[in-house]
Amino acid sequence: MSVMSPGSPTATGRFASWTGTAPIEASSGETVRHRLSRAGNRRMNHMIHIAAATQIRLDTEGRAYYRRKLAAGKTRMEAMRCLKRRISDAIYRQLLTDARARGTGPGGQCGATLKSSAVDLPPHIDTSDQPLPGPANPTLQPTPRRRKTTEASVVRSGS
């Protein structure tokens, strides 16, 4: 099994698939089309969609990219899909840059490795391994039951 480098196109594609911004072929006959996947992390997809809509609304590089795609003959939805994928790739690159700057390992925490250290740990009794005490004593006292009185019994006793 080969180990994939974090910057490889397949790693970027996997991140895009996770965010739901990887295009899926939706061709029919000789017409070749692509659409966005409805799978993946919907919150990430929504966040990227908001970022793309903001990029289009403001005067940014994303807007220029979107307009170039429209000028190239893509529909508005296709151009939006391209912009969302581009934003997804930028997020992935930034995540990698941040991880390298912190010096984190593959697990995301400093000093994380792929080698398991659980093999040589000495056995010890943890608090979860100790026997539990018996059931707890009830803390609520039962409410006293009141006798039902009817109007007939009140009338008899009062006369």
Q: Output the 3-class SS for 96-156.
A: HHHHHHHCECCCCCECCCCCCCCCCCCCCCCHHHCCCCCCCCCCCCCCCCCCCCCHHHHHH
- pLDDT 10s digits, 70-97: 999 999 998 999 999 999 999 999 988 8
Q: Up-side HSE of residue 151: CA atoms within 13 Å toward CB?
A: 0
- For range 152-157, the mean pLDDT: 59
Residue pair 36/20 in contact by the 8 Å Cβ criterion: yes
Which residue matches tokens 């009338």? 155
1 alpha-carbon distance from chain centroid: 27
Amino acid at 123: P
What is the reported pLDDT for 38? Answer: 74
What is the reported pLDDT for 104? Answer: 64
Residue pair 49/116 in contact by the 8 Å Cβ criterion: no
What whole-number distance in Å separates Cα of residue 17 and Cα of residue 85? Answer: 10
Cβ atoms within 10 Å of 126's Cβ, excluding its own: 7
What is the reported pLDDT for 156? Answer: 60
Residue pair 87/94 in contact by the 8 Å Cβ criterion: no
Which residue matches tokens 């990029």? 55
Amino acid at 112: A
What is the reported pLDDT for 55? Answer: 95
Number of H helices, E strands in the chain: 5, 2
45 alpha-carbon distance from chain centroid: 10
